[in-house]
Chains A and B, each alone.
Chain A
């Protein structure tokens, strides 16, 4: 692997690609050659750089100078001035006031912006995600090497249990415990499945990991395979993530070529290989048993649990299903040890969490911070405050496993235990920040519309309950609600929770319960006064209500 004086990283998320990132990348290569710098400067395309206000973005290391939005005609000047003459071009730099994500982290070193703590996003945006060599020089595969040469499978699981890592997909189940279940399950054939069907609205942390650091997931899955006794792994990537699929396909091919996948890894008796399975657009496939059905080529309808996948999973064999972000923690824990990991976060929820910050804030994007940070801190520091000087009203924590969190709870530490004590859920890590102009009825209507559309239809409480709840909310937003509708909504939410087969239905009523718990007066105003206090709802019949209403 060659050592370069400077590294030029070009963002290649979908939005950057649309704005010509590929041409900018090629132009950089040409210009670098033009100035005879090809032995000193490397140019790579990296994934999503975590910043979602400026496209395309170019970062030059080691200075960590950020240029953006970069146009094709700017490339010559950047190469001539910055790389050839060593002078930054201030007028092409990305404006500092809207920094977020990766850039925030980079600039922290200069003491200008709040720190993040990056473990799962450690390499995303720093390494060339298409090069296994680049991964290796950034500590890649040292954890797998350590595991295969120094540790027994039971040691790996013990270390993970000691670290206190909990699943980052939403439910927060202790990861080490899940691994021990699969390891103890009877049977010679076992599977490791990486759940990359990230479809919780507002969540794209897994996409950034897969696009920016695909090898870390392969390494983590291989370690998991060794620990639980599996020799085959599947990555289930949602169909919409084309770039992530491309990066993973390439990563698997390189890992096979370098002997990090295949037979007798590191000269041991251990064999492991990984396949990719693409989804085709179904939120429910993020549910682990639906995901397994989908890999088997069926409709993504959840199975009845128990038995759990840890004993009866893919093709009836014991199967370990872990989320992308959960797995991305594993190599770091093995490399540095459980006690290192426990220094981050809170005692009951160690480590970091990746959050996507969205909605009415000045700066949207992806951050990774220790568990236990509060919503107020996230909004003020990383979101850089509410847009247009408005007030924070509520946050929605994303998808089926999240909650509607009112401003009164914004000082609750964001970790699994504190949140469950406060009666709210952390969810998948999406933080949709809503200002005073947000109507809770409108928000709940949008959320229920999502559940109604994504319900797989297998069990009745969910199939009909989500539809009925959406219809009642629509009626309220159209000024035709009655107070008894609120009782029916509560009863629907309870029935959804108690009677649904899987997590989708069980949590579909959460937004209803939350808005009636924290914002009941606002909901009742729609009915009693016939006005939407925020002026969002139409308050008259807008769309035809379905015939079966």
Chain B
């Protein structure tokens, strides 16, 4: 997260810049939201309002898109986001055991953020690297052939 979320002005500024960079076109809405999500870590309400104003569409339209796609989040996430693939190929290759260990280590249920705002745990559908399942992704780092024993080591890499 690079922008302090309480700072409404900065959020609006970021949203405006991203919208304008993409020509403030409706067809660019998803790339715009993707970019803001990357910069701020999620899509605060103020950012969506700003995008709606720039694109001259109803805020509900922007909201409906922002809540549809899995890579976009309208709620604040932790400093590190863990994506765990729960599709069949990973599941069959030992994903169930990895999932249990991950849940126990973090003491989080899917979709939850830890009270210290360090972790957000998300379950996702196939990430397209099924040859090395089970797969999990922490921020931009991908881990394949994960075993339950690897979980503490992987988590220890982040602070």
Contact = CB atoms under 8 A, between A and B. Distances in A.
Which of A281, A294, A453 has the most chain B CB within a 10 Å cutoff? A281
A295 B91 CA distance: 32
B30 A297 contact: yes
Contacts of B72: 280-281
B131 interface: yes
Nearest to B55: A297
B87 A202 contact: yes
A434 B69 CA distance: 31
Contact of B128 (A240, A298, A299): A240
Which of B86, B93, B132 has the most chain A CB within a 10 Å cutoff? B132
Contacts of B144: 15, 52
Contacts of B93: 358-360
B142 interface: yes
A432 interface: yes
Contacts of B143: 18
B87 A365 contact: no
A202 B89 contact: yes
B68 A201 contact: no
A280 B144 CA distance: 22
A194 to B, nearest CB: 16
B89 A358 contact: yes
Contact of A281 (B27, B65, B70): B70
B88 A443 contact: yes
A300 B131 contact: no
B133 interface: yes
B40 to A, nearest CB: 15
Instruction: Give the interface size bracket for B toward A.
Output: 35 or more
Given A52-B131, A279-B69, A296 B89 contact: no
Contacts of A356: 130-131
Given A281-B124, A297-B27, A202 B88 contact: yes
Given A282-B68, A299-B68, A449 B86 contact: yes
A356 to B, nearest CB: 6
Contact of B70 (A200, A282, A297): A282
Contact of B87 (A207, A450, A456): A450
B48 interface: no
Nearest to A285: B69
Contact of B126 (A14, A15, A199, A279): A199
A238 interface: yes
Which of B86, B88, B93, B128 has the most chain A CB within a 10 Å cutoff? B88
Interface string A176-210: 00000000000000000000001111111001000
Contact of A359 (B31, B71, B89, B142): B89
A364 B65 contact: no
Which of B86, B128, B143 has the most chain A CB within a 10 Å cutoff? B128
A241 B72 CA distance: 15
A324 to B, nearest CB: 12
Interface string A342-375: 0000000000000010111000111000000000
B29 A297 contact: yes
Contact of A278 (B27, B30, B65): B30
Which of B71, B126, B131, B142 has the most chain A CB within a 10 Å cutoff? B131
B92 A360 contact: yes
Nearest to B142: A14
A281 B88 contact: no
B87 A280 contact: no
A396 interface: yes
A430 B28 contact: no
Given A13-B129, A239-B71, A450-B87, A296 B27 contact: yes
A495 interface: no
B147 to A, nearest CB: 15
Contacts of A198: 128
A299 B129 contact: no
Interface string A443-478: 100110110011010000000000000000000000
A453 B26 CA distance: 27
A438 interface: yes
A359 B131 CA distance: 8
24 contacts: A14-B129, A15-B132, A15-B142, A18-B141, A52-B131, A52-B132, A53-B131, A202-B87, A202-B89, A207-B128, A280-B33, A281-B69, A281-B70, A296-B26, A296-B27, A299-B65, A299-B68, A300-B69, A356-B131, A359-B92, A360-B93, A364-B132, A434-B92, A443-B92
Interface of B: 25-31, 33-34, 64-65, 68-72, 86-89, 91-93, 124-133, 141-144
Kindly list the 6 A-B residue pairs having the minimum CB-CB distance in the complex, ordered from nearest.
A52-B131, A281-B70, A280-B69, A201-B87, A281-B71, A297-B29
Given A201-B89, A201-B126, 12 more contacts: A15-B132, A15-B144, A52-B131, A278-B31, A279-B30, A279-B69, A282-B68, A358-B133, A359-B92, A364-B130, A432-B92, A450-B86
